[in-house]
């Protein structure tokens, strides 16, 4: 069993697939801990068995095309470069896929709203390591991509991907080679001993168990860069899809979700308002400027109280914003036992992007980029 040496996991996680291990925290647990997600309940997304890596013999290969390859030990990484701490949310492209599946089946794991988590990462800057390996930070040259390769592999391939060079070397881009997660060494599930953290970009590019970095003219040719993690029209199906026609997902669109109450929860017939809590986040460092909640299908909206992360600039906002709102029970349902209602939320980011109302117009065969209004059905009870 290639998965026989996978680590132990927290029993509260909802398992979407055991081998490889893919799991998410239940909605209330996801935000109950507050701004940062405890490592044990951070969602876990593995495509392959978790590799066993000896930190003593670990070497990171760094190659800048046209220069000699550099090999760095874990100790080298920690000693040669300044350390940075960055609070960043990582979200899987498939977060909330189960809602897209409800429109029409898709291929992929059935994620709820928990394939997103927030961490204080500690590591060194990718930009510093690239410069050390000979990358000229001042030249806009032919090397337009930075590729990452993981040490997890099966018979045919390793996991990998790439990001555009401007993100990789931007001093405000905060791309880290992280060795700590919330002040602890990276857990095995999250990439021990070193992973990339690409803030504001789809989780798929934050390559875990990092083995190799290549600054290159071309994009990564890895399966997960070329043949997966791309968006298509709702009219494209598995017979007609041509993955070469769509760009690899990098920055993600704005998203939000209601974590409490959960679906089919009871609203007391004696209460006039419903306390609602959730998260909102957008890609590209676009901070959240507003979250609106409705209990009447969008006729009226109640603006949520935001708890934005402290000291995070609005256009370099890598971490999510938690929010809460007191939403009046609509006239028609107030005090009426058995009445059904539905609450929904949508967020607006710093570029005034907001979420589409419905899933059907953004449906795609891989079930990625689900970001329509998040809806939660409720029942009034005594």
Closest CB 223 distance from ligand MTE, rounded Å: 11
Minimal distance in Å, beta carbon 7 to ligand MTE? 12
Tokens of 3: 């998965």
Phi, psi of 39 (to 5 degrees): -50, -40
Q: Contacting Mo ion (CB under 5 A), which of 112, 193, 203, 283?
A: 203
Contact track, Mo ion, 56-95, x by CB under 5 A:
------------------------------------x---
Nearer to Mo ion, 45 or 316 (CB): 45
Residue that has been written with the tokens 């690899």 in this structure: 248
Which CB atom, from 58 or from 229, has the smaller least distance to Mo ion? 229
| Of 242, 245, 183, 224, residue with least CA distance to 94 | 224
Q: Which does 101 bind (CB under 5 to 8 A by kind): Mo ion, ligand MTE, none?
A: none
Contact flag: residue 125 with ligand MTE (CB under 6 A)? no
Q: Which residues from 134-163 bind ligand MTE, rule CB under 6 A?
A: 150, 152, 159
Of the candidates 210, 176, 226, the one whose C-alpha atom is nearest the C-alpha of residue 62 is 210
Q: Closer to ligand MTE at the Cβ: 161 or 261?
A: 161
Nearest to 205 by CA among 141, 248, 255, 154: 248
Count of residues that interact with Mo ion, criterion CB under 5 A: 4
Among 44, 45, 190, 316, binds Mo ion (CB under 5 A): 45
Residue 146 structure tokens: 């930075």
48 vs 213, which CB is nearer to ligand MTE? 48
Instruction: Kindly state the helix (H) or strand (E) to which residue 340 belongs, with its residue range.
Output: strand 340-349
Distance of CA 350 to the CA centre of its chain: 18
Which of 328, 321, 278 shows the shortest CA–CA distance to 301?
Answer: 328
> Least distance (Å) from Mo ion to the CB of residue 92?
3
Backbone angles phi, psi at 120, to 5 degrees: -90, 105
Q: Please state, in angstroms and rounded to a whole number, the distance separating the CA atoms of residues 332 and 33.
A: 35
Is residue 204 near Mo ion by the rule CB under 5 A?
yes
Q: Which does 44 bind (CB under 5 to 8 A by kind): ligand MTE, Mo ion, none?
A: ligand MTE
How far apart CA 14 and CA 23 sit, in angstroms, is 5
Q: Rule CB under 6 A: is residue 225 a binding residue for ligand MTE?
A: no
By CB under 6 A, is residue 199 in contact with ligand MTE? no
Calculate the CA dihedral of residues 368, 148, 245, 255 and round it to 10 degrees.
30
Residue 207 found at the interface with ligand MTE (CB under 6 A): yes
Residues that bind Mo ion (CB under 5 A): 45, 92, 203-204
């Amino acid at each position: 069993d290639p998965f026989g040496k996978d680590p132990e996991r927290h029993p509260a996680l909802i398992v979407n697939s055991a081998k490889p291990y893919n799991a998410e925290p239940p909605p209330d647990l996801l935000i109950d801990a507050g701004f940062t997600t405890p490592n044990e309940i951070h969602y876990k997304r593995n495509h392959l068995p978790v590799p066993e890596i000896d930190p003593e013999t670990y070497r990171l290969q760094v190659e800048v095309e046209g220069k000699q390859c550099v090999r760095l030990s874990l100790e080298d990484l920690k000693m040669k470069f300044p350390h940075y701490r960055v609070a960043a949310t990582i979200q899987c492209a498939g977060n909330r896929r189960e809602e897209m599946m409800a429109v029409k089946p898709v291929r992929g794991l059935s994620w709820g709203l928990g394939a997103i988590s927030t961490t204080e990462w500690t590591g060194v800057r990718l930009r510093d390591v690239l410069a050390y390996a000979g990358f000229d930070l001042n030249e806009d040259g032919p090397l337009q991509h930075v590729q990452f390769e993981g040490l997890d592999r099966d018979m045919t391939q390793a996991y990998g991907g790439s990001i555009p060079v401007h993100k990789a070397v931007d001093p405000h881009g905060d791309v880290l080679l992280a060795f700590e997660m919330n002040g602890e060494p990276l857990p095995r599930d999250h990439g021990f001993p070193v992973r990339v953290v690409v803030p504001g970009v789809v989780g798929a590019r934050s390559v875990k168990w990092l083995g190799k970095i290549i600054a290159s003219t071309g994009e990564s040719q890895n399966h997960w860069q070329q043949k997966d993690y791309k968006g298509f029209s709702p009219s494209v199906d598995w017979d007609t899809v041509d993955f070469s026609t769509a760009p690899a997902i990098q920055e993600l669109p704005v998203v939000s979700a209601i974590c409490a109450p959960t679906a089919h929860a009871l609203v007391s017939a004696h209460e006039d308002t419903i306390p609602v809590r959730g998260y909102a986040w957008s890609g590209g460092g676009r901070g959240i400027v507003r979250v609106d909640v409705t209990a009447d299908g969008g006729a009226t909206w109640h603006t949520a109280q935001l708890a934005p992360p402290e000291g995070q600039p609005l256009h370099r906002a890598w971490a999510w914003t938690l929010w809460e709102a007191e939403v009046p029970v609509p006239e028609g349902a107030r005090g009426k036992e058995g009445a059904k209602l539905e609450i929904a939320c949508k967020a607006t980011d710093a570029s005034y992007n907001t979420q589409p109302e419905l899933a059907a117009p953004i449906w795609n065969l891989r079930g990625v980029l689900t970001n329509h209004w998040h809806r939660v059905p409720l029942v009034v009870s005594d």
